[in-house]
Amino acid sequence: MQYDQVWQYGRVKRCHAMAIIGEQTVADHSWGVAVTVYKIAEECLTLDLVAKALLHDVAEGILGDVPAPAKWRWKDLNNLLEKLEAVVEDELEISGIPLSKKDKEILKWADGFELYRFCLYQRDLGNQHLRHMCGVLYHALSTKAPTASAVKLLREVSNGSE
């Protein structure tokens, strides 16, 4: 792993296309994803899954943080970004972390959940610009929860607010 470069890429600012209070970096987000994985993975928690949670957005140091709504809207863009992310991960020597299908489901859900949690946090700070995003994310997360612990965490954090 190219440690210094990977560490620096954690400083990339996220959510630049949304009106937010303060900022969130890739490092902040990745920590939140790792904590979520730890909470919801149940019996399949592995070091590889936690490592991937911590490193899953490192390629944004080269590619930037492309807004989620753009990736949702244009699947071809999302597919291209996934290919480019794999190239960057190879160059940084962080590719090849083995994940099962279940691990990938957990990581994907945790990634979306961390964005949802960030949107709730912003809303609690008084930012009303993310209300719609909170609803969209809640719906997606509630229909794709990979474990019983994920369902419980979503209920606990949303507290009936969606």
Distances (CA, A) of 123 to 35, 43, 45, 127, 135: 21, 33, 31, 5, 12
**pLDDT tens, residue by residue, 98-140:** 999 999 999 999 999 999 999 999 999 999 998 888 999 999 9
CATH of the domain at 36: 1.10.3210.10
Question: Is residue 80 over pLDDT 90?
Answer: yes
* Structure confidence at residue 18 (pLDDT): 87
Query: Which domain covers residue 143, as residue numbers?
Result: 3-158
Among residues 45, 47, 59, the alpha carbon closest in space to that of 8 is found at 59
158, 138 Cβ separation under 8 angstroms: yes
35, 90 Cβ separation under 8 angstroms: no
Q: What is the pTM of this model?
A: 0.92
**pLDDT tens, residue by residue, 14-67:** 988 889 999 999 999 999 999 999 999 998 899 999 999 999 999 999 999 998
Number of domains in the chain: 1
**3-class SS at 122?**
helix
